[in-house]
Amino acid sequence: MAEKSVGTQSLGIKVEQAYKGKKFRVAFIGCGGISHTHMAALATMPDVEVVAGVDIDPVRLKVFGDKWGVTKLYKDWKKMLKEIKPDGVSVCTPNGVHAAPAIDALNAGCHVIGEKPMAMNPAECERMIAAAKKNKRKLATGFQYRYHPNTQFLKRMRDAGEFGDLMFVKCQALRRRGIPNWGVFGQKKLQGGGPMIDIGVHCIEMAHYFMGSPKPVAASGNIWTYMGNKPSKVVSGWPNWDYKTYTVEDLAIGQIRFNTGAILQIEASFVAHIEKDIWNFSFMGTKGGGQWDPPMTFTDRADTMINSSPFFVGDQASFDALFPMKLRNWIDACTKNTPLEAPGEAGLAVQKMLDGVYRSAAAKKEVVIK
């Protein structure tokens, strides 16, 4: 008697079928490095079609088109918006060119996701939000670390009341020697700042999200430049940065006060004299505390001080793994009207904190955040 064949369903194997519905048509404005991370994520989504790319650099544009098979390539985003009429636009330009294309895309009827930080200053963010509301489009900020399993674990614990009222959060985004040696990361006029706005923004956004997004009301801080604007022979993983055009800070230290009375401190540096790179936040609450990496909580139970570590929080923790989650959230919000995890308002709140630290450093005193 012949053995009965076993179907894939009984083995728990998922059989992918061709997507037959209407695809969400996405165009890219800015085709540099980070756009390829976006593209790798979108390539896994059968309901998405990338229809165009825009960049002022013909070499970047050609590489983008050749690698991903995108044939509609433009130097002018206004022309692209008029001719292609995409459903959504991903803005992956330098910080100084976030607001203008985002606003134009929103006014053209497109949904928008923009890379972090949201813009150069709060005023630009507010104009972007106003354009989204006027045109009834979805505007998302590219904050991927709130999707990280460590962040989600701690947020679930906070939501359950495990920590009580949060009083203090300390964020650290510190590299021992990691000035970017590509792009325009060292040019203040194009980036708005250095490590605070480039990497500090990540730790601030995930910590602020974990805290429940309280309203920032005041900031104090200072910045220092002591290495990036000079040549260096020190052996490192990212050598030969462009010190001649370097006009941003090397180290930024800030403190944010919220309307809840809580305090958030941020340390951000490209070139800190420390033992090793640090990417973390820790916190203290009235009932418990904890830290992001490794995820741990510190509480009292049965009259005993307990340090707890989760057995498993999720396996999508790598940088590349976070992009499909943030892009999926944006696309679902656009197509199914589901909630955005990182709406423009979240980008504005973080921008106000970044702006507050820089304004305080320039004024040499605490400044009000409105």
Same domain assignment for residues 222 and 274: yes
Of 87, 113, 137, the domain-final residue: 137
- Closest by Cα among 175, 354, 356 to 279: 175
Q: Tell me how far apart the alpha carbons of residues 201 and 195 are, in angstroms, rounded to a whole number.
A: 8
Q: How confident is the model at residue 168 (pLDDT cuts 50, 70, 90)?
A: very high
Same domain assignment for residues 111 and 157: no
pLDDT in tens, 322-350: 999 999 999 999 999 999 999 999 999 99
Of 137, 156, 172, the domain-final residue: 137
Same domain assignment for residues 150 and 253: yes
Q: Give the tokens for residue 86.
A: 């995409």
Same domain assignment for residues 217 and 164: yes
pLDDT in tens, 301-317: 999 999 999 999 999 99
The per-residue pLDDT for 319 is 87
Q: What is the CATH number of the domain that holds 29?
A: 3.40.50.720
Same domain assignment for residues 79 and 203: no
8 A C-beta contact, residue 32 and residue 60: yes
Mean pLDDT of the chain: 95
The per-residue pLDDT for 19 is 84
Same domain assignment for residues 80 and 223: no
Secondary structure class of 238 (helix, strand, coil): coil
Q: Can you tell me which residue has the tokens 């490590």? A: 195
Q: Calculate helix-pair angle for 33-42, 58-68, nearest 10 degrees.
A: 20
Question: Cα 104 to chain center, whole Å?
Answer: 22
Helix or strand holding residue 308 (H, E):
strand 304-308
pLDDT > 50? residue 178: yes
Of 78, 111, 137, the domain-final residue: 137
Residue 329 lies in a domain: no
Please enumerate, as own/partner, the contacts of 360-368 that have beta carbons within 8 Å and a separation of 24 or more: 360/219, 360/220, 360/221, 360/222, 360/254, 361/221, 361/222, 361/223, 361/252, 364/222, 365/220, 366/218, 366/219, 366/220, 367/218, 367/219, 367/220, 368/217, 368/218
pLDDT > 90? residue 260: yes
Q: Is 280 exposed, middle or buried (0-12, 13-18, 19+ CB in 10 A)?
A: middle
8 A C-beta contact, residue 239 and residue 180: no
Find the domain containing 78 and state its range: 20-137
Same domain assignment for residues 352 and 205: yes
Q: What is the CATH number of the domain that holds 190?
A: 3.30.360.10
Residue 176: CB atoms within 10 Å = 16
The per-residue pLDDT for 9 is 39
Q: How confident is the model at residue 18 (pLDDT cuts 50, 70, 90)?
A: confident
pLDDT in tens, 53-101: 999 999 999 999 999 999 999 999 999 999 999 999 999 999 999 999 9
Q: How many domains does the chain have?
A: 2
